[in-house]
Amino acid sequence: MSISALSLVLSRDLKRRPARNLLLGLCVAAVTGMQVAAALLDAASRRGLELGLARMGADLVAVPRGLSDELTHSYMTGEAALFYMDAAVEQKIAALPFVDRTSPQVYIKSLSGASCCSAWNIFLIGFDPATDFTVRPWLTAHRETPLGPDDVLVGAAIASEPGTNIKFYGRQFRIAGTLDATGTGLDTTVFIPIRAAYLMAKESPVKAVKPLDLPESKVSAVMIKLKPKSAGGSPAYRAAYELEMRFPEISVIQPEDFMVRVQKNLAATLGTLRSASYAVWPVTALLIGLVFGMAANERRREIGLLRAMGATRGFVFRMIIGGALIVCGAGAAAGMAAAAGLTSAFSRLIALKLEVPFYWPGMGDLAAILGAACALALLTGGLAALVPAISASRMEPYEAIRRGE
């Protein structure tokens, strides 16, 4: 019997029990959806972390002692971290032999519900355009239009066009450009030249609803670039240890600290999703096997008649396996679409709640995740229906018709 005959029999069989097939499809969709969601979350946070660390540009970040968690939280969520230390610490760090360059940053939070700020509760980062690493790629790419004293750069997630004005603490700034997306909290920050940030603070008692207390002798963090090993540099972990030993007033953050935090924040969610999926998986496989076994048993007479009309054992085998593969394939497609759609739509909320970066994986990674999930669903369906398919294909036509009556 031909492929067209097989598809005809399969389509009639699937239409005959829509509720049963829908239930099986939903089980497969749930398993596949949970697996895809967990894999997407994992891949997206890794990619976001890579991009975020690349944006940060520094090998180490020095912050006031004991406040490293606040900074990692800010970088992940975009919520402002407000702490300050003596600006003189930058000179002390820069003087060390293993340090190549340093750049100061000050952190400010825009006021909430105040007419003197265009956007409320925004994380403002004051940076030094002459020494900064964080927005250096943008500055390098736009060498022909250097930043003016009141020009700011905004993260990719702030919906404001370059050239428009934005106001903080009553001071007007011009948006000079939008930075590339990283999937981290840096996408919702505004980068202000450090001089303008100090001026804004000085003018705030007159121009703003609430004054900003930020003396020029204070900075929030010092970004540190280490010398390469060949030029007498130290590994990041050793440099961090030495810095903390020499300057007890600072804590030093390494890129690994961000990775550890992301892994810690993700662990519970990924664990729950994967465990739920692993728990439902064997039940689904068992259900598929049972349902197709029962269906083959119910259809003894039909299978006997098909065999009597010339259907081969292979045809009957393909009919049972094909039915399982169609149900599992459709369920997997629905599960993958739902997981990818919901993860994509709620990505920012997920990133904020879990405090992890989220940058949608590239096409290669996405294809690998979806392909693996689909293959796994089809394999489950195929293996679960294997026993009923073999037993149905072994039935003798006469015996099957007689016992099916």
Binding residues vs other proteins (CB under 8 A): 78, 113, 119-122, 157-160, 187-188, 341-342, 345-346, 348-349, 352
Closer of 121 and 297 to other proteins (Cβ) = 121
Please, what is the minimum distance in Å from the beta carbon of residue 345 to other proteins? 4
Q: Which residues neighbour 157 within 8 Å (Cβ) at sequence distance 6 or greater?
A: 78, 181, 187, 188, 348
Closer of 121 and 131 to other proteins (Cβ) = 121
Is beta strand 151-154 parallel, antiparallel or unpaired with respect to 171-178?
A: parallel
Please, what is the minimum distance in Å from the beta carbon of residue 164 to other proteins? 11
Closer of 187 and 355 to other proteins (Cβ) = 187
Closer of 112 and 145 to other proteins (Cβ) = 112
Q: Using alpha carbons only, what angle is made at residue 180 by residues 60 and 43, rounded to the nearest 5 degrees?
A: 75
Closer of 189 and 393 to other proteins (Cβ) = 189
How far does CA 13 lie from the centroid of its chain? 41
Please, what is the minimum distance in Å from the beta carbon of residue 330 to other proteins? 14
The answer to whether residues 102 and 225 touch, using CB atoms and an 8 Å cutoff, is yes
Please, what is the minimum distance in Å from the beta carbon of residue 348 to other proteins? 6
The answer to whether residues 259 and 49 touch, using CB atoms and an 8 Å cutoff, is yes
Structure tokens at 286: 């068992």
Please, what is the minimum distance in Å from the beta carbon of residue 185 to other proteins? 9
Please, what is the minimum distance in Å from the beta carbon of residue 183 to other proteins? 12
User: What CA–CA distance (Å, rounded) separates 260 from 348?
Assistant: 21
Structure tokens at 335: 């599960």
User: What CA–CA distance (Å, rounded) separates 318 from 313?
Assistant: 9
Strand partners, 226: 99
Closer of 192 and 400 to other proteins (Cβ) = 192
